[in-house]
Chains A and B, each alone.
Chain A
């Protein structure tokens, strides 16, 4: 498996802010890679370094087997970028911006452009300021998706879209996946990443703290269990990996590390299972687990 993006040990500071603090990222060719983190985690900064718009203070970056700082213009012809904050020129219409950006990248597919305009329900004759944030984002999205490129870099592309448009966006990304294009999708919306991405990297304070397939990541998390049993269970508290155990007569509620699920199930079936609800871990829980230290620290600080 080749990599479209590899970075290791990236550091970038703005004055006293360390935006990136030794960031490692690996995006395989042909995958949809989620780049997940809360506001200010360093997602946009990483992407700007990947695009050669910022120069990293330290560390290695390789993008489509090139150096984005040195060969920016060459590499950019092979990728399309949707910024998090899209600003348009007040005297250019949306259609003109789409065409301009496409041409500067080396051309775009007019059929696909029209198709996308229709699906995103975007009026290309309006001028810059007449667009809302969501519509400005659509302009950038149409320009990117209609270009014939190997790599799409999308920085929180749905932050201004309504749920209907988010759905259209998801379909579009699905299609890109089938065309074997590589997508780096930065987001703080977990359900979106969960629905779309093959692999996820979670970034926190300028560092990637977790990276892998969703299945692999789920393995690190807990499944929540609610069960009604025939008899009161025994010795559940001695099982490894069981958390938040709450036994009320024959009813059991708990969370279990996904790796230890098997052991718990054996114990429960010993006692005879009448009903069972098992909730798979969501990315949200995973996410919260990584950030709950921050939450605790925050609470402590505010006290």
Chain B
């Protein structure tokens, strides 16, 4: 037990630190679910309207790969909430994992943990406390969501199952966060690794879900997000599936404890190798330094975008497979034939790609703030570098990085869709163009971060909230019939 000494104190400390953050996130998620359900209930009053909406969805590869399949077209709950099932689980999972990293590796990296560890803290206290806070938040969030859905008028069992979808995804990824926090020496890298795991999970699910009915649909079962989704809230309520992500969580937490007991405080398992004794000739300007600082994450993101592009382009070639029912075929013809719907799918996916790329832009621009608060900017600014040159170096990296990502994503999807549709000459330039038109919006978001950094540096991390708002506006704005003026705010 002495390994856990001090856990309760740490939990209180974390709750004190996050006393605003946690309730805000909980309210946002609960409101998102309840609001979305309420709006859909009004929109689909009878079974016929739901069935037609569901079959449209199920025949759209863009929607299926993005959100997943609607298992029961007659189910009011599922038709109302399918957009929030897997996608919402993704967001909850991200939140849960980052919360764990925030209270473990971030603290350790900042050296604050050492201060505490010298007190009466057991070896496992920090991780345990972070897991309790993150898990507790996820459970409260899920239960309140269930209650609010019941309150809106959806079925009790389905609503509980829906809450469980989010809870299980959150708990599983709290475990992922606990493990990545042990592996890397930096919180940034731990979050990056978590995001990769999450991204792969989501893409696996998308691949499985969008496979043809005789295709490899089992791929979805390789993904923790897929498991949560397969609870099938409002469409069978298979509560037993929840055992899978919960088991994963137990395994991951056990692994985190094992890793923790084998490493030193401050160290990771992925140890930094020694670097060069002298700097190479080109490392002689702020821009060169900025490149050094951003290049690692740019390589990782670039690889992710190439992969994503390939997958998107590949799914596009399956589009025809979706168009099986008569009504769907008619609709497809109205939309401009199979070619038209393929284009529509690809352009939706490109929008998504653009949104993700702007996350890179935000992160790169936020580097300005973290360089300043960690006092690393100070010795640089005490040399012959002007403030504007220093600022420009990071801004340029943000703009350059997002351009590269978009280009790589467009290239990947162009090549793979061109190859599978057999018309490379047409697809490649079109996909590149579709990707590149995302750039102005991405740069706008990046510019907002920089302006905020200049005007109110303390608020600059609030840009993530702005980003989340854009994300939600883009995804759910149409559902709520928000006025166009509100929608147009979102790049």
Q: What is the total number of residues of chain B having a CB less than 8 Å from a CB of chain A?
A: 34
Number of A-B contacts (CB under 8 A): 109
Q: CA of A90 to CA of B270 in the docked complex: distance in angstroms?
A: 13
* CB of B274 closer than 8 Å to a CB of A: yes
Q: Is A296 an interface residue (CB 8 A)?
A: no
Distance to closest chain B CB from A118 (angstroms):
12
Give residues of chain A (88-128) contacting chain B, Cβ–Cβ below 8 Å. 88-101, 103-106, 124-127
Main SS of chain A's interface residues?
Answer: mixed
A92 CA / B283 CA spacing, docked (Å): 11
Q: Let me know if A89 and B376 touch, CB within 8 A.
A: yes
Asked if A129 and B284 sit within 8 Å, CB to CB, the answer is no
Task: List chain A residues, Cβ under 8 A from B379.
Answer: 81, 83, 86, 101, 140
Chain B 274-288 near chain A by CB (<8 Å), digits 1 or 0 = 111111000111100
- Check A74–B276 contact: CB distance below 8 A: no
Q: Which of A48, A73, A89, A153 contacts B386 (CB 8 A)?
A: A73
With a cutoff of 8 Å between Cβ atoms, the chain B residues found around residue A103 in the complex are 279, 283-284
- Chain B residue at minimum C-beta to C-beta distance from A128: B272
Known contacts A91-B293, A91-B296; is A96 also within 8 Å of B274 by CB?
no
CB-CB < 8 A to A93: which residues of B?
Answer: 274-277
Asked if B185 contacts A53 (CB within 8 A), the reply is no
Q: B residues within 8 Å of A by Cβ?
A: 109, 185-186, 266, 272-279, 283-286, 289, 292-293, 296, 374-376, 378-387, 389
Is A83 touching B276 in the complex (CB atoms < 8 A)?
Answer: no
**B277 near A95: Cβ-Cβ < 8 Å:** yes
- Interface: A236 (CB within 8 A): no
Q: Which of B273, B276, B286 has the most CB of A within 10 A?
A: B276
Q: A104-B385, A129-B266 are in contact. Are A124 and B278 (CB under 8 A)?
A: yes
A91: min CB distance to chain B, Å = 7
The residue that A105 contacts in the complex, of B109, B275, B384, with Cβ under 8 A, is B384
Which chain A residues numbered 54 to 97 have a C-beta less than 8 Å away from chain B?
A: 72-74, 76-77, 79, 81, 83, 85-97
Q: Is the CB of A73 within 8 A of B279?
A: no
- A92 in contact with B378 given A99-B279, A125-B276 (CB within 8 Å): no
Q: Do A83 and B375 contact each other (CB < 8 Å), given the known contacts A90-B272, A100-B283, A126-B274? A: yes
Interface size class of A (residues with CB under 8 A): 35 or more
* Other-chain contact of A72, B275, B277, B381 (Cβ < 8 Å): B381
**A95 contacts which chain B residues (CB < 8 A)?**
275-279
Q: Which residue of B lies closest to A95 (CB)?
A: B277
- A96 pairs with B279, CB closer than 8 A: yes
B275 touches A104 (CB 8 A): no
Contact B382 A129 (CB under 8 A): no
Q: Which B residues are CB-close (under 8 A) to A48?
A: 378
A99 touches which one: B185, B272, B278, B296 (CB < 8 A)?
Answer: B278
B289 CB to nearest A CB, Å: 6
When A and B form their complex, which 6 residue pairs have the shortest distance between CB atoms, in order from nearest? A93-B275, A99-B279, A104-B383, A81-B382, A96-B279, A125-B274
Q: Evaluate contact between A104 and B272: CB separation under 8 angstroms.
A: no
12 more contacts with CB within 8 A, not counting A100-B289, A106-B384, are A73-B385, A73-B389, A91-B292, A93-B274, A98-B279, A99-B279, A100-B284, A103-B284, A104-B380, A104-B385, A105-B384, A127-B275
Bound Cα distance from A254 to B110, whole angstroms: 51
A245 to B337, CA, bound (A): 108
- CB–CB A90/B186 < 8 A: yes
Q: List 16 A-B contacts (CB under 8 A).
A: A73-B389, A74-B384, A76-B381, A77-B384, A85-B375, A86-B375, A90-B272, A91-B275, A91-B296, A92-B275, A93-B274, A97-B279, A99-B278, A101-B380, A104-B384, A140-B379
Q: How far is the CA of A81 from the CA of B384 in the complex (A)?
A: 12
**How many angstroms between the C-alpha atoms of A86 and B380 in the bound complex?**
11
For residue A130, CB closer than 8 A to chain B, the reply is: yes
Residues of chain A within 8 A of B285, CB atoms compared: 104
CB-based contact B266/A72 at 8 Å: no
Closest residue of chain B to A75, judged by CB? B384
A183 at the interface (CB under 8 A from B): no
Residue of B nearest to A48 (CB): B378
- Count chain A CB atoms within 10 A of each CB in B109, B289, B378, B382 and give the residue with the most: B382
Residue on A with the closest CB to B185? A129
Cβ-based interface call for A51 (8 A): yes
Contact A87 B275 (CB under 8 A): no
- Complex: how many Å from CA A96 to CA B275? 8
